[in-house]
Structure 1
């Protein structure tokens, strides 16, 4: 893969492109007014990360839309929280200001953003993303996205993105070091109407959640382990989530309380 910039980049864009190329171990090439298709052809690659003033855009040959960071429905949920409304996920997790939450499958960081606002300045949300390309785009988006709300922007900036496999990371965590450990793996049966996840899917890790990861999460969590899946998914039973709460028309949350027998 290669990293490049939009045409006529300023110094800030060039520095961002250099930083992301180092992180990804990718070649940094000048744009030279070339189209994405021409870049792929001339540079012999099928994947191009373009650094623009609006954030990174990730292109792959054969994929219709580029992957870009956007908070999507998290923005609506965060504005509801700021108005004093509730959020079903925050309620189910019993999130309190000052909590530490480990999001093991960061993706677009939509849930991490809501959780970051809910835990406040005294809390912490760590987001793990196993795929370096997604981690790079999302981390940069969280760093630079402007929502028009100081409170929302601050919540985005507070999320600590770590590019790591969640099982490896959990193994090195101390016992009871996070209040909640959260999993939102790629659904075994995708919700096709979910446009927000569509551009992410070609770059995401499709591996199912393992029982070992859930066991480690139970050790690390002080309060509960939570998994998001499609309603009716057999994953809840397979992984030992006996307490399941359906939310909306398609999503459910499985909960394992660490003090449960």
Structure 2
């Protein structure tokens, strides 16, 4: 996917320097904004995606819309937890303070943020994201986005730009308490149209039996898969334990591994 890095209009030296650094990391060409519109840059350089470095963060302008980091429902879900309400993902994972979670499909990081809040300072949450642009923008957001109350949970998440199949294969058995997959953005949900640009940028491969077998090896306690309620993926992967809200369109498939996390 042809990508260009630029800045907001009148960026200043610090923002332009940051944009040049990001261009080197991706890597992608940096184009000074000057007086050019994004559309002019897109046409001139035949770019499919333009990442603009702005004072508020990174914004990827894609054919499917603008992609930028935001905590989505994470703040509300954490507020509900504080008020004593259940969270179906937290329950499915069996999360407690101090546990470790490997989120194999990080995306915007919403679920990882909730997991980071629950596991706390002694816990560990690592998010894998195969798509470089998604990993870049989500990683930058987790490091810099300012919230009212959950900044610490964002900052504790480690983002790795990696294919989960290869990453899992290189881990020792029992490396994490929970291994988590959220492959559901492969299919649109009417109420989730805001993830359209994410779906365009992300790795949309289906979860395979081979990857699931690696996840079972790596997970000390559970493998958890998030999917739509009537998805065929659970049956296809042989998952029999399925939990979720009675009226929710989302369910979680659980595989108990019956081990404990290996010692550091």
Which bracket does the TM-score occupy, shorter chain normalised? over 0.9
1:251–1:223 Cα change, 3 Å = same
In the alignment, the residues of structure 2 paired with residue 206 and residue 174 of structure 1 have an alpha-carbon distance, to the nearest angstrom, of 26
| Deviation readout 1:89-111 (Å, 9 max, x if unpaired) | 11221101111100000011000
2:241 counterpart residue number? 243
Q: Is the 8 A contact 1:3 1:49 kept in 2?
A: yes
Partners of 1:89 and 1:26 lie apart in 2 by: 36
Residue 187 (structure 1) shift: 4.5
Q: How do residues 12-31 of structure 1 correspond to structure 2 at under 5 angstroms?
A: 12-31=14-33
Instruction: Name the structure 2 match of 1:208.
Output: 206
Q: How many angstroms does 1:188 deviate by?
A: 5.2
| Aligned positions of 1:1-261 closer than 5 A | 1-60=3-62, 62-63=63-64, 65-149=65-149, 152-187=150-185, 189-247=187-245, 248-259=247-258
Q: Secondary structure at the match of 1:143?
A: helix
CA contact (8 A) 1:186 1:208 kept: no
CA distance in structure 2 between the partners assigned to 1:10 and 1:78 by the alignment: 36
The two structures have a TM-score, normalised by structure 2, of 0.93
**Equivalent position of 2:262 in the other structure:** none
Q: Note the C-alpha offset of 1:14.
A: 2.1
Report the Cα distance in structure 1 between the residues aligned to 2:96 and 2:253, rounded to whole angstroms.
Answer: 19
Tell me by how many angstroms 1:32 deviates: 0.7
TM-score by length of 1: 0.94
Residue 240 of structure 1 aligns to a residue whose secondary structure is coil
Over 4 Å off, 4+ runs: none
1:57–1:188 Cα change, 3 Å: closer
Aligned 8 A contact 1:186 1:205 in 2: no
1:84 Cα offset (Å)? 3.9
> Residues 50 and 57 of structure 1 are in contact (CA less than 8 Å); yes or no, is this contact kept in structure 2?
yes
Q: What's the secondary structure of 1:215's corresponding residue?
A: helix
CA contact (8 A) 1:102 1:125 kept: yes
Judge conservation of contact 1:106–1:129 (CA < 8 Å) in 2. Answer: yes
Unaligned runs of 5+ in 1: none
1:190 to partner: Cα distance = 2.5
Question: Contact 2:185–2:199 at 8 Å: present in 1 too?
Answer: no
RMSD: 1.5
Give, in whole Å, the separation in 2 of the partners of 1:54 and 1:125: 25
TM-aligned CA deviation for residue 209 of structure 1: 0.4
Distance apart, 1:191 and its partner CA: 1.4
Deviation string 1:125-158 (CA, Å, 9 cap, x unpaired) is 0000000010111111111111121xx1010011
Distance in 2 of aligned mates of 1:58 and 1:204: 13
Moved more, 108-117 or 239-248: 239-248
The number of residue pairs the alignment matches comes to 256
